[in-house]
Amino acid sequence: MQTDVVRIGTRGSQLALAQAAETRARLMAAHDMPEEAFEIVVIRTSGDRIQDRPLSEAGGKGLFTKEIEEALFDGRIDLAVHSSKDMPTVLPDGLEISAFLEREDVRDVFIGRSVKRIQDLPQGAKLGTSSLRRQALVLRMRPDLEVGMFRGNVQTRLRKLEDGVAEGTLLALSGLKRLKMEHVATQIMDAQAFPPALGQGAICIESRIGDERIKALLAPIHHEPTGTKLACERAFLATLDGSCRTPIAGEAKLEDGRLSFYGMILTPDGREVHEVTGEGAAEDAIEIGRDAGARIRDMAGPSFFSDWV
Residues marked active site are found at 86
| DSSP codes of every residue in 77-120 | -SEEEEEGGGS-SSPPTTEEEEEEPPP----EEEEESS-SSGGG
- Closest by CA to 5, choosing from 33, 30, 25, 44, is 33
Q: Are 63 and 50 in contact (CB under 8 A)?
A: yes
- Say which DSSP state 71 is in: H
> Which residues touch 215 (CB under 8 Å, ≥6 apart)?
98, 207
At 271, give phi and psi (nearest 5°). Answer: -80, -30
Rounded Cα distance between 302 and 257, Å, is 35
> Which residues touch 272 (CB under 8 Å, ≥6 apart)?
266, 300, 304
CA distances in angstroms from 40 to 18, 37, 43, listed in the order given? 11, 10, 10
